[in-house]
Chain A
Amino acid sequence: MWHKILVGLDGSEGAGKALAVAVKLAAQSSAELHSISVEEKLPHYAATVGEVQESKQEAANYFRKLVAEAQQSARASGVTLHSHVMPGHEVETIVTFAKDHGFDLLVIGFMGHSKIFGRIWGSTSQNLAKLSPCTVLVVK
């Protein structure tokens, strides 16, 4: 049923569950599976260029480990996981990536904010569901 599946990977518990579901769906539909991780926490208004570079590197190290584990887990189910790490705003970057690469399913973990923040701003998963160009599966 699915040809190209994209799963959001940020190291959270919800993202772990989303990956497991995405791997299962990819195996069932013989679909192409990709993961996307977004670096959100580069320091704004930094004092030196080095501060930004080191933060970027810390994020790179974190995502490198995360992606290696995800790829290993997918491989165990006979699925090849293509991983992508990008800087930017989480919602905007995932939506743009899904649009540009023609995915037909986006799988994300439920990412809850605090109640107050969620009410005012909407959670990341809500915003992704609203703005994504393809079907979205939110895994809880």
Chain B
Amino acid sequence: MSFSWEVAAIWIGLALAASLISIRIGVSVALVEILVGMLGGNLLALQPTPWIDFLAGFGSVMLTFLAGAEIDIQVMKEKWRETLSIGFASFLFPFLGAGAYAYWVAGWSLEASEIAGIALSTTSVAVVYAVMVERGYNETGFGQMILAACFITDLGTVLALGLLFADYDWHLAAFGVGTGVTLWLLPRVTPWFFAKVGSRISEPETKFLLLVLFALGALAQAAKSEAVLPAYLVGMALAPFFLANRTFAQRMRLIAFAVLTPFYFLKAGVLVGWSAIVSSLGLIGIFLGVKVAAKFAGVWPLTRVFRFSHREGLYLTLLMSTGLTFGTISALYGLSNHYLDREQYAVLVTAVILSAVVPTLIAERWFDPGGRPPEETLSRRHSDRGDQLADRRGGGG
């Protein structure tokens, strides 16, 4: 289908509606966009067009890049034992559990079962972070360890998505070598390049990063891998640089959230058919249950090994059972590459959305390990990272 301003107006209108609803009800715009997308797909019979597919794909690459760039490497180094083991178990158990259920019990194909395992293995760092901030745990060692473990889980997810379906030939070798060299060079080249070109209205810094992401995405595509894998790794490699250059990180977020991620999340919702949800309600519930049970089987025993209290262990395990962005990215990858049909896609996306909400509510309501939200003094807030954004906006930026 060729480009149509009418289609563009409808999609951006839905994105605007989602933003307004999100502001009103205090739920993230991503989740509202998926739900609004579902309404658009089912009531207005909206379907993605090729240019929407491009923007949505670009949006998912930006999302994974930003997620990688938010990693606090320092915490990961300090608590590497807990972080690595909990994060890895949090990926592995649900990946195997949900995949096995899909394959042996639900009768899905091997590829569809692998996608189910990947989509339900995720932990949403952002969902967990919002809970942590609200309760003040993001300032504690316990909270920072949970967040770092979530990144490891996500790394497992993107590695599985990027490597499980790839062609193991010289294309993959070229992709591996290209990614390795880029990751080695980027932390050195990026600060040098940014200092050289400076901050300009033509945004050479942003274009430089996009070039890196697109070029590695092209290599990934040639190897039948997935562009979100190098995007996440590039984000991780540049995380220390991004933490030191928060204004630039916010600029990237601004681009992503204004025009890219709305198309991604709306598309993720548009492709979910209500009839598929209604006819598979039982399976959706089972997948959610399998995900949470597998997280308990993998993560909870480790919380005992690392001497967390009983309540902390339950709280941590429930938070590690959340999922959203990477789960929908995995399901959409499965649908786009014909590993999933529309009904299987609807089942997985709905289970992923429920996994963002249900474990969070249970953790907050019944298993909060105590402690109170810290008082946010104004002086601390003044030094907070977003001040730079406020100053920039105030200055007409």
Interface residues of A (CB under 8 A from B): 39-54, 56-58, 60-61, 64, 67, 83-88, 93, 96, 100
Contact count band on B: 35 or more
Cα distance, A9 to B375, chains bound together (Å):
15
* Chain A residues within 8 Å of B126, by CB: 46-49, 51-52
Closest 9 CB pairs of A and B: A57-B386, A47-B30, A46-B28, A43-B28, A46-B126, A60-B381, A49-B70, A45-B356, A41-B26
Instruction: Decide if B26 touches A48 in the complex (CB within 8 Å).
Output: no
Q: What's the nearest-Cβ distance from chain A to residue B322, in Å?
A: 8
* Chain B residues within 8 Å of A57, by CB: 384-387, 389-390
Interface residues of B (CB under 8 A from A): 22-23, 26-31, 63, 66-67, 70, 124-127, 129-130, 133-136, 249-250, 253, 257, 261, 265, 324-325, 356-357, 360, 372-378, 381-382, 384-387, 389-390
Q: What's the nearest-Cβ distance from chain B to residue A13, in Å?
A: 19
Task: Given A43-B26, A60-B376, answer yes or no on A48-B133 (Cβ-Cβ < 8 Å).
Answer: no
Cα distance, A64 to B380, chains bound together (Å):
11
Query: Given contacts A54-B386, A86-B374, A87-B373, could you give 17 more A-B pairs where the C-beta distance is less than 8 Å?
Result: A42-B130, A46-B28, A46-B127, A47-B126, A48-B63, A50-B66, A50-B253, A51-B257, A53-B386, A54-B250, A54-B253, A56-B133, A60-B384, A64-B382, A85-B378, A86-B373, A88-B135
Instruction: Decide if B378 touches A83 in the complex (CB within 8 Å).
Output: yes
Cα distance, A57 to B381, chains bound together (Å):
8
Cα distance, A74 to B127, chains bound together (Å):
39
* Chain A residues within 8 Å of B374, by CB: 86
Instruction: Decide if A40 touches B373 in the complex (CB within 8 Å).
Output: no
User: What are 8 inter-chain pairs, A to B, with CB distance below 8 A?
Assistant: A43-B28, A45-B31, A51-B257, A52-B133, A53-B385, A56-B133, A57-B387, A84-B375
Q: Which residue of A44, A64, A85, A88 is within 8 Å of B130 (Cβ)?
A: A44
* A41 (CB) vs chain B CBs: closest residue: B26
Instruction: Decide if B375 touches A49 in the complex (CB within 8 Å).
Output: no
* Chain B residues within 8 Å of A53, by CB: 385-386
* Chain B residues within 8 Å of A58, by CB: 386
Instruction: Decide if A45 touches B28 in the complex (CB within 8 Å).
Output: yes
Task: Given A42-B133, A42-B134, A57-B390, answer yes or no on A48-B384 (Cβ-Cβ < 8 Å).
Answer: no
Instruction: Decide if A85 touches B381 in the complex (CB within 8 Å).
Output: yes
Instruction: Decide if A87 touches B136 in the complex (CB within 8 Å).
Output: yes
Q: What's the nearest-Cβ distance from chain A to residue B228, in Å?
A: 13
* Chain A residues within 8 Å of B261, by CB: 47
Q: What's the nearest-Cβ distance from chain A to residue B223, in Å?
A: 27
Cα distance, A39 to B384, chains bound together (Å):
15
Cα distance, A85 to B356, chains bound together (Å):
27
* Chain B residues within 8 Å of A41, by CB: 23, 26
* B322 (CB) vs chain A CBs: closest residue: A45
* Chain A residues within 8 Å of B23, by CB: 41
Cα distance, A51 to B145, chains bound together (Å):
20
- Between B357, B360, B372, the greatest number of chain A beta carbons within 10 A of the residue's beta carbon is seen for B372
* Chain A residues within 8 Å of B125, by CB: 49
* Chain B residues within 8 Å of A46, by CB: 28, 30, 126-127, 129-130
* Chain A residues within 8 Å of B67, by CB: 48-49
Cα distance, A93 to B26, chains bound together (Å):
17
* Chain A residues within 8 Å of B324, by CB: 45, 47
Instruction: Decide if A50 touches B325 in the complex (CB within 8 Å).
Output: no
